[in-house]
Amino acid sequence: MIDMNALEVRTNEGNTLVRPFDFYLKKREIVGIFGESGSGKTISTQAMFNLLPRSLVSSAVEKVIEGKNLDTLLPREYRKLIGIDVGYIPQNTTEFLHPLVKIKHQMLEGFVTHQCGTKKEGLKRATELLTLVGLKNPKKVLNGYSFELSGGMRQRVNIALSLMTNPRIIILDEPTTALDSITEHEVMEFFKKLNQEEGVSLILITHNMKLIEKYTDRAYVFYKGEMVETNDTETLFKYPTHPHTKALVQVTREEDVR
C-alpha cells in the first residue's frame, strides 16, 4: 500500500527535522508510529502524503502509494488518490472542523468533489456513518456546527468524515486524545473491526504505548527526529534494542502492574 525509501523532512532553510528513514504499509495491516511530542512522528506521516505545511519540505528516493509514485503524479491524479483512497483523522478536533460551516456541508464536500455520489446519497451516507460511530442524533449533528459539540463528539464526526469516500488507508493521528477510556476502547475496536472486515490499512500515530501494543501489527519508534527502531509489535515489546524503546516498554510494564 505504501513504500517510502529514505524519506526526510527539513525546514525551508535546510535544517533537518526528521532524518532519512524507510517505511512500508501492507494491505490489511495496522502500523503504529510512536513518539513523544516533538519526536517527528506527525510531520513524517504528513511528508509521506505530501501534506506538509509550506514552511517544511521533504525528499525521498521513492514515494509510492498503491503502486503510484507521488512525485510523478499530475495534480488531478494526486488529488484523486489522496482525496478518495486516504482518510485522515486529526489530532486537533477544534481546528480541523470549520466553526462557521455546518457539519453536513463539510461531510459532503469531499464526497461530491470526488464524484463519489450525489448530495442526497452523501447525506444518507453521512447519517449512517454518524450513527455507526455512536452519535445518537445524527440529523441534529449534521445541521449543527462544530462549536456546539463536545471534544468527543467532534472526534466522532472526524472519524465519520474520514470514512465518507471509503478509503483504503486511514491515518489515525492521536485518535483517542479527546476521549475517555471507555470511548477510547470503543473507537479503537471500531477501527480494528474496519481493518479486519473491510481490509482497510491503518497508520496509528500515538504517544500511547499501550495502544501500540494492543492494536498494531508492526511499529516504528521515533525519538528526537529519528526513527530509532522498528519491528513487529510482539518482538518490539519483548526484545527492544534501542535505549529509548527499552525505557518506554519498562514504563508501560510498570503501569500495567499498578
CATH code, 35: 3.40.50.300
Whether residue 117 lies inside any domain: the answer is no
In a domain, 202, yes or no: yes
128 part of a folded domain = no
Per residue, the 3-state secondary structure of the chain, as one string, reads CEEEEEEEEEECCCCEEEEEEEEEECCCCEEEEECCCCCCHHHHHHHHCCCCCCCEEEECCEEEECCEEHHHCCHHHHHHHHHHHEEEECCCHHHHCCCCCCHHHHHHHHHHHCCCCCHHHHHHHHHHHHHHCCCCCHHHHHCCCHHHCCHHHHHHHHHHHHCCCCCCEEEEECCCCCCCHHHHHHHHHHHHHHHHHHCCEEEEEECCHHHHHHHCCEEEEEECCEEEEEEEHHHHHHCCCCHHHHHHHHHHHHHHHC
Banded pLDDT at 106 (limits 50, 70, 90): very high
**pLDDT-derived band at 64, boundaries 50, 70, 90:** very high
pLDDT at 72 over 70: yes
Within-domain flag for 118: no
pLDDT value of position 133: 84
Total domains in the chain come to 1
- Going by C-alpha positions, the residue among 196, 152, 199 that lies closest to residue 176 is 152
Backbone φ, ψ for residue 224 (5° rounding): 50, 50
pTM: 0.88
pLDDT digits (tens, 9 = 90+) for 31-45: 999 988 889 999 999
In a domain, 219, yes or no: yes
Residue 116 lies in a domain: no
Tens digit of pLDDT for each residue in 170-226? 999 888 776 667 677 888 888 899 899 889 999 999 988 889 999 999 999 999 999
Residues above pLDDT 70, as percent of the chain: 96
Instruction: Tell me, yes or no, whether 147 lies in a domain.
Output: no
For 76, the domain range is 2-92+167-257
Rounded distance between C-alpha atoms, residue 34 and residue 211, angstroms: 10
